[in-house]
Chains A and B, each alone.
Chain A
């Protein structure tokens, strides 16, 4: 078999059974791999009303047919589950080398279900899979657990997925890590893994990925790799990492400062990639087969955090625990990053809940009585630091925040006023980019994202984000160059539709978005080329994009089953009503608001979502080969629009 390994691993931790399931040609062709196969399993096997921490819940690790090959950046892994943070569909993906190793061991996917009576880890050594005792690993940081497992198994070259203490403590936004620092951050599957008493999955693979048309595949890869050498985006990402965006964000006013109250700050340059590279960068890092290598390794040299080290930073991780909570001291930001990584939780949500609590505190919705004496003032690094530990350990006020901003608002009884400041959609807080400046299509992504407060890796509307670096590209795909302006409504509906389908395919193949439609060295047509060369299939660009559409619709249907639809397709009031204030000289987006309702109807038309419910239409579902999903949704359409349902405010599920 070419590309795929053709089997998946199902590990039931309650029964202690390990089953290898073959994957048929039809199944592989319909769902490809990674996000597609994962979403299929979550839709079919995890009922929408199941508690995400129920032993019966699933967590899936998926890789694609391209994973572990020479295709640019082909080492990603998608982790999917029913999210304990949002209660809806949740997935996230990570780089590193674990995905490739899993392919070499001979598996396209791992499904974990059940709950082990005691902490365990899974050891996959090619065909031999065993469940091993992990009691001695419980409570350890990813870095420690990784080292201990490698020592125990006597091989330093294996790759390990591991959760930190936050996952064990069921922090609702705990992450999963591989290669110590590569995180699948969002939606909280770290906690689901923790609830299964699973600490780690170690993999060693000695196989290879077979290629159907090796000569052709080599030529495609070679052509793309040559393109990367002169790609303008690649240069920035390699030289200064994704923090190269800080100065851009600060100029264009889309940096999240003080929980999105501002879009820029005069001090932000201190944490820019340019400064980072000059001061604390120890090493540049690359995930598997990556031609970009945006990964960083940081070692703090001065001040009270001197001597601390760790992988990162990355833009989306650093902004929420930095500017979003009003912290601008770069060493403090790197420290927060190292801390959240050690505990194993999502930096975005961690910063998001702390920033939300700070705004509640500022507005007088909570006082130091609620917080156990902590003064939650903007930029109070001492408190931020303390809260990160308290959240991970679920201590005091941290226990409240560990449920995520939206649930915390209800636990504290803050009502609608409290939810106003959570800056979240479908129960997940937004990453550190303000749609009032970064772009309207990107903002629509927040509203319709199939994993809630979605971020750069899903509806990454790169055509408006990095399109300006590639003149003519917007015209080529969208038919007009005007959508390159972030703050216009022209062409954005189609932009979202196209990019969302494309990104779904990127996640199915499990290559990195930064290689394709972010830097534009790899276009959709190139992806079709390498997919066909590896698998020996001959699918067309149309079929390729249709698979992406199928996956988006399936995930959307998961939300529809939770009665989440059109009314929930919105973004926080702040972006719609509060004009962007001026914070720095030359800020380009002063006075802008984000008119999401102007773009959504157009987007719905491309998707063929019901205009009154926002559910995928029966017609489109059938066209995509999802007849059974159409049947699932049929009785829900009227229910969603019943009067009682209309009155409900749904912040999470």
Chain B
């Protein structure tokens, strides 16, 4: 599901410190509220992937790829 634009996805995948910008983008896109933003900052990336999967924003296959290949795979699925 296209939660992020292609340009946004590209920008994120080029960052050194990508996690906070990723959470910010997801908040801006309305996927995360303040509480969610904070929750996944505290508990880590895999909890975020779990959440996106349970919200059906990514497929099981996407979630698997996101955990195997990292956030670049995640932003790719979120922008397609």
Contact = CB atoms under 8 A, between A and B. Distances in A.
Does a CB–CB distance below 8 Å link A and B in the complex?
A: yes
A476 B46 contact: yes
B43 A545 contact: yes
Nearest to A605: B20
A475 B43 CA distance: 13
A472 B68 contact: yes
B58 interface: no
Contacts of B45: 475-479
A605 B23 CA distance: 12
Given A501-B42, A606-B41, A479 B19 contact: yes
A491 interface: yes
Interface in B45-73: 45-48, 67-72
A477 B18 contact: no
A491 B17 contact: yes
A541 interface: yes
Contact of B47 (A541, A602, A606): A541
Nearest to A489: B16
Contacts of A602: 16-17, 20
B71 A477 contact: no
Given A472-B68, A541-B47, A491 B16 contact: yes
A507 interface: no
A252 B77 CA distance: 37
A306 to B, nearest CB: 51
Contact of A549 (B39, B42, B44, B46): B42
A476 B39 contact: no
Contacts of B17: 489-494, 599, 602, 605
A479 B42 contact: no
Nearest to A490: B16
Interface string A451-486: 000000000000000000000100111111110000
A559 interface: no
B67 A476 contact: yes
Given A494-B19, A546-B42, A480 B71 contact: yes
Contacts of B42: 501, 541-542, 545-546, 549
Interface in A531-556: 541-542, 545-546, 549
A494 B20 CA distance: 8
A475 B64 CA distance: 12
A491 B43 contact: no
Contacts of A480: 18, 70-72
A480 B14 CA distance: 12
Nearest to B71: A479
Given A481-B70, A542-B39, A476 B20 contact: no
B22 interface: yes
Tell which of A475, A481, A497, A599 has the most Cβ of chain B within 10 Å: A475
A498 interface: yes
Interface string A495-532: 00110010000000000000000000000100000000
A545 B39 CA distance: 9
Interface residues of B, number: 23
Contacts of A475: 45, 67-70
A479 B70 contact: yes
A472 B69 CA distance: 9
A480 B45 CA distance: 9
Contacts of A501: 42
B74 interface: yes
Contacts of B20: 493-494, 602, 605-606
A465 B69 CA distance: 20
B43 A542 contact: yes
A478 B67 contact: no
Contacts of A482: 70
B73 to A, nearest CB: 10
Nearest to B41: A606
A294 to B, nearest CB: 27
A491 B18 contact: yes
B35 to A, nearest CB: 9
A478 B19 contact: yes
Contacts of B69: 475
Nearest to A548: B42
Nearest to B35: A542
Contacts of A497: 41
Given A489-B16, A491-B16, A478 B68 contact: no
Contacts of A492: 17
Contacts of A524: 43-44
B46 A477 contact: yes
Nearest to B45: A479
Interface string A597-638: 011001001100000000000000001000000000000000
B22 A479 contact: yes
A531 to B, nearest CB: 15
Contacts of A599: 17
Contacts of A541: 42-43, 47
Contacts of A545: 42-43
Contacts of A481: 70
24 contacts: A472-B67, A475-B69, A476-B44, A477-B46, A479-B19, A479-B45, A479-B70, A479-B71, A480-B18, A480-B71, A480-B72, A482-B70, A489-B16, A491-B19, A494-B17, A541-B43, A541-B47, A542-B42, A545-B43, A549-B42, A599-B17, A602-B20, A605-B20, A606-B41
Given A476-B67, A480-B72, A497-B41, 16 more contacts: A472-B67, A475-B69, A476-B45, A477-B44, A478-B44, A479-B18, A479-B19, A479-B22, A480-B71, A489-B17, A494-B19, A501-B42, A541-B42, A542-B39, A549-B42, A623-B38
Interface of B: 16-20, 22, 38-39, 41-48, 67-72, 74
3 A-B pairs with least C-beta separation: A479-B45, A602-B17, A479-B71
